[in-house]
Amino acid sequence: MKKIAGSRVIKTGVAIFLTAWICDMLGWPPVFAVITAIVTIEPSVSQSIKKGIVRFPASAIGSFFAVLFISLFGHSPITYALAAVFTIVTTYRLKLYSGLLVATLTAVAMVEVIHTNVIMSFFIRLGTTTIGLIVSTLVNMFVLPPDYTKDISKKLLSITQKTGEAVEQVFHQYILNSTQKTRCQTRLDQLDREVRQIESLVQFQKDETQYHPLTVSEQQEFKHAQEQLIRIKLMIYHLDNILNTPLTELSLSEKERMKILEAVGELAHAMKQHTKFDLSKHRQKLKDLIDFYWEDNDKLRSEQKDYPTAFPAKLIVLYELVAIFTLVENYYKANVYKSE
């Protein structure tokens, strides 16, 4: 059953309620505080604090220009335009990028609500901004605090499966049949994007540990996930190297083709199905590939031919495949050690 609302949505609702309630108790207009509270709920507490520090002066700038141009031109169309433009330019020049949107909204919205005592309205606006920032940050810290470790593990398992599919696709459709390079590259690009998404979650979790430290076991799990992600990233890197290898000089014997297909098939199956990893069989396949590599290396070196990539395509492909095999072995060995 799908969740109706995630933790961030719930926290936003709680922050809005508390912010509006406090402003109502003080007799201040809650709309500006609520806007600030909404945009201050970030993926991590650290980001909420960092961006809140930027948004406060940005909102003050927006409030200042709203008050200034109301004093000069009253509630006219030119006031809206000038308040917005000057706010955008000033916040941009001061590099308050995270606060640009909320500052501009503040400047425009204040034109509508300020009718008397513009100076007092300015300071009330600063007060409501402060309330929104503090409340949303505290809510983010104490109400359903961010925890990305489960998401990281889940996505890591998914990308492992997809990497296994990519290994199979690259060798079956490109290396052995010299077709569908574009499709293979598209798959690798997608994997690269997913890796970056997981890296973002890892960074969020690192930031979060400043305020919600992990237990010893959670720290070990988190460190393990980071190491496994590095291995997946390197596998994708080696696959990308293969796709960028010219295949015009690639010639494989039937025996080599069958050995590579068999090795890749078993490797991909283990990664896709998350089956029990057979280390002895894996090492035998790796040994066969290494033997192929050195046999071809000696043979090609004796021929002394020139190649466009400085190395023969066959050696490059075998080297990259050996590298992937080694990474997969380390990946599953790390899983075994973790479970012991």
pLDDT, tens digit (0-9, with 9 covering 90-100), for 61-95? 998 999 899 989 988 999 999 999 999 999 999 99
> pLDDT tens digit string along 138-149?
998 888 888 888
Provide the percentage of residues in the chain whose pLDDT is more than 70.
Answer: 86
Could you give the CA distance from residue 194 to residue 171 in angstroms, rounded to a whole number? 21
Distances (CA, A) of 236 to 166, 240, 272: 9, 6, 15
Instruction: Give the separation between CA 104 and CA 96, rounded to whole angstroms.
Output: 12
Per-residue pLDDT of 215-224, as tens digits, reads: 888 888 899 9
pLDDT per residue as tens digits for the range 245-255: 776 656 667 77
The answer to whether residue 152 scores a pLDDT higher than 80 is yes
* pLDDT at residue 151 greater than cutoff 60: yes
**What pLDDT was estimated at residue 236?**
94
pLDDT of residue 328: 86
Tokens of 102: 């909320």
Tens digit of each residue's pLDDT (9 = 90 or more) over 253-263:
777 777 777 88
Return the closest-CA partner of residue 118 out of 130, 110, 128: 110
* 5: Cα separation from own chain's centroid: 21
SS3 (DSSP) at 9? helix
Chain mean pLDDT for the chain: 83
pLDDT of residue 245: 78
Query: How far apart are alpha carbons 1 and 286 in whole angstroms?
Result: 43
Contact indicator for 325, 263 with CB cutoff of 8 Å: yes
Give the Cα separation of 242 and 236 in Å (integer): 10
Encode pLDDT of 28-41 as tens digits.
888 888 988 888 88
pLDDT band at 308 (very low <50, low <70, confident <90, very high): very low
CA distances from 147 to 55, 152, 207, 217, 288 (A): 25, 10, 11, 14, 44
Reported as a pLDDT band with limits 50, 70 and 90, residue 2 is very low
Mean pLDDT of 184-203: 93
Burial 296-305 (b: 16+ CB within 10 A, else e): bbeebeeeee
Residues counted in the chain: 340
Place of tokens 């409501």: 128
pLDDT tens digits along 6-58: 788 899 999 999 999 999 999 988 888 898 888 888 888 888 888 888 989 99
CB 52 within 8 A of CB 137: yes
**Predicted model pTM:** 0.77
Domains of the chain: 7-142 (no CATH), 149-339 (1.20.120.940)
- CA–CA dist 288, 311 (Å, integer): 21
Label residue 297 by pLDDT band (50, 70, 90): low
Residue 56 three-state SS: helix
Report how far apart, in Å, the C-alpha atoms of 135 and of each of 32, 40, 65, 172 are.
13, 9, 26, 56
The string of DSSP codes covering 267-292 is HHHHHHHTPPP-HHHHHHHHHHHHHH
pLDDT, position 274: 67
Residue 1 has pLDDT above 60, yes or no: no
Give Dmax over CA atoms of the chain in angstroms: 92
